[in-house]
Structure 1
Amino acid sequence: MLDEIGTITERFSASGTLDERIDLAFEAMRKMGFEALIYDYTPARRGWDGQVEIPTLLKLRNIAGEMYDYWCTREYFRIDPVQRLAMQTSVPFFWNYDPDVETRITRFVTEETKPVCDFLREHDMFAGVTVPVHMPRGDYATVTGVRFGARKEFMREATHVLADFNLLAQVFHEAAYELYDDTVLNASGVRLTERERECLSYSAHGLSAKEISRVIGRSVPTVVMHLNSAARKLGAKNKTQAVVRATQCRLLENVTPYQL
């Protein structure tokens, strides 16, 4: 499989779009016996209110398009048993919605998550393997291969390709991540002006409004105005909270840091 991964990696590099790279990943997964692919990415697992964030990216292959509406618009993602387990582990795992088969998601199959279970069973999406990807800054993604039908022997069959599937998922995610733009990386949808980002960045380095005004050559009231505007857009109560939220949303990246 290592030789094949090398070839796939080269093909990823030669592909210019995210969808092309997803198609290549799906092609490789099908050779392992999976019949559908689900890929999601969320810049932060939970929002400021503690709720599970809806992914900024959800890509499906060989799955009914209505799943996107249910998981993102109707927010089934928040109660998805697979996602609830994936947020707690970095280890690939099997899942199965056959009532007679117990897997690690069984404890999450409750009355609250019943809408998700019903949808998947109705669409014959009974079993699969999910690879959680947790990144250092709190980014979160899952790569899932689906096997249609209620197959009690699925886990035994898929065990033989679990290691290869995990490796493929990790390589694919790295290739996909290279092509993300700000609309994918910023979960909040907040847009700050360059001056607002600059003032928050200096504030993050411990500068007061008076000190920031000297650095950027603007009056103190102007700096305060920019900081207040940024805080309002971010729904923050104060400057400190605004800096934290802007950092979580990656809005302060690529801003020239303060130099002593």
Structure 2
Amino acid sequence: MKDDINCIADRLSTRDTLDDRIDEAFGTMRNMGFEALIYDYTPMPCDLGGQIEVPSLLKLRNVADDMYDYWCNRDYFRIDPVQRLAMQTSVPFFWNYDPEIETKISRFMTDETKPVSDFLRDHDMLAGVTVPVHMPRGDYATVTGVRYGARKDFQGDAMRVLADFSLFAQLFHEAAYELFDDAVLNTSRVRLTERERECLAYSSHGLSAKEISRIIDRSVPTVVMHLNAAARKLGARNRTQAVVRATQCRLLDPVPSYKL
């Protein structure tokens, strides 16, 4: 597979647009026995309330046109059993929505997730393999290959290509990630002012309000006001939590060098 992967990498790199690279990836997946591709990415896996975040990017190939609307606009992504499992593991896994077949997603299939199960069964998208991609900064993607119909031999076929598909999925994601724009990479719904971000950034370095006030040449009450406003917008209980949440949302810029 090593030589094949090198060839795949070369082919992906020659494609100039994100959609072209996804088309190239789908062609490779079809050669592995998959009939549809689902690829999603979000810079923040969960929102500030702890719910699975709707992805900033969802790309589909050979999938029903209305799936995007249901998963992104009607929030099916948040209750998708495959996504709930993928959030908790970095290991590729096989899944099946046939109620008579036990797979790792079975424990997530409840009354709450029934709309997802019903949609996929109605569209004959019963089984597939998903590769979770967890990145160092907390952003997250999944690459999924789907086989239509309830063919009992698919699990065996999928397991035989699982290692190769996992390697390919990581390679494909890296190639796709290179072409993401700012709108994909940052979807935070929280809007902090420039001064709020600045004060939080200094706070993330362990500086007190008094120390920050000296650096930015503002009064201590003004700094405290900015920090409190930022914490309120972020739904944080204290300054430390505000810094953590702002970091998760990628709202903090690097601070310039400073002297106290």
Q: What SS does structure 2 have at the residue aligned with 1:143?
A: strand
Task: Give 5+ residue unaligned stretches, structure 1.
Answer: none
Superposed, 1:33-48 pairs within 5 Å as: 33-48=33-48
RMSD of Structure 2 on Structure 1 (CA): 2.1
Q: Superposed, which structure 2 residues align to 1:149-188 within 5 Å?
A: 149-188=149-188
Give the SS at the match of 1:65.
coil
State which drifts further: 192-201 or 226-235.
Answer: 226-235
* CA shift for structure 1 position 57: 1.7
SS in 1 for 2:23: helix
1:27 matched to which residue of 2?
27
- % identity of equivalent residues: 75
Corresponding residue number in structure 2 for 1:126:
126
After superposition, residues 7-22 of structure 1 pair within 5 angstroms as: 7-22=7-22
**Residue of structure 2 in register with 1:5 after alignment:** 5
Equivalence for 2:54: 54
Determine the C-alpha separation between the residues in 2 that align with 1:119 and 1:140. 24
Give the corresponding residue for 1:204: 204
Match of 2:95 in 1: 95
Is 1:255 matched with 2:231? no
CA contact (8 A) 1:202 1:258 kept: no
Residue 29 of structure 1 deviates from its aligned partner by 0.7
Between 1:87-96 and 1:165-174, the stretch displaced more is 87-96
SS in 2 for 1:242: helix
Secondary structure of 2:146's counterpart equals strand
What amino acid is the match of 1:89?
A: T
| Structure 1 residue aligned with 2:83 | 83
CA contact (8 A) 1:90 1:132 kept: yes
Residue 192 in 1 paired to residue 192 in 2? yes
Q: Which runs of 5+ in 2 are unaligned?
A: none
Q: Deviation of residue 258 (structure 1)?
A: 4.5
Tell me how far 1:145 sits from its aligned partner: 0.3
Cα offsets for 1:117-164 (capped at 9, x unmatched): 110011110111111112233222110001111111101122222111
SS at match of 2:175: helix
> Does the alignment pair 1:241 with 2:214?
no
Structure 2: distance between partners of 1:14 and 1:212: 48
Q: Could you say if the C-alpha distance between residues 20 and 259 of structure 1 is closer, same or farther in structure 2, counting changes exceeding 3 Å?
A: farther
Which residue type is aligned with residue 155 of structure 2?
M
Corresponding residue for residue 216 of structure 2? 216
Q: Indicate the larger mover: 86-95 or 229-238.
A: 229-238
In 2, distance between residues paired with 1:124 and 1:220?
62
Displacement of 1:187 in angstroms is 4.1
Which amino acid in the other structure matches residue 33 of structure 2? Answer: G
Q: Secondary structure of the residue that 1:7 maps to in structure 2?
A: helix
**Is contact 1:203-1:243 (8 Å) kept?**
yes
SS in 1 for 2:63: coil
**8 Å CA contact retained: 1:183, 1:189:** no
On the 8 A contact 1:234/1:242 being kept in 2, the answer is yes
Name 2:141's counterpart in structure 1.
141
Question: Matched residues in 2 for 1:95 and 1:5: separation?
Answer: 25
Shift of 1:182: 3.5
Provide, for residues 62-111 of structure 1, a one-character-per-residue CA deviation record: whole Å limited to 9, x for no partner. Answer: 11221112112221112212112212221111111223322222222222
Distance change >3 Å, CA 20–CA 193, structure 1 → 2: farther
Secondary structure of the residue aligned to 2:226 is helix
State the SS of the aligned residue for 1:102: coil
Alpha-carbon deviations, 1:200-253, whole Å to 9, x = none?
11011121222222222344444344334433432334433321211111111x
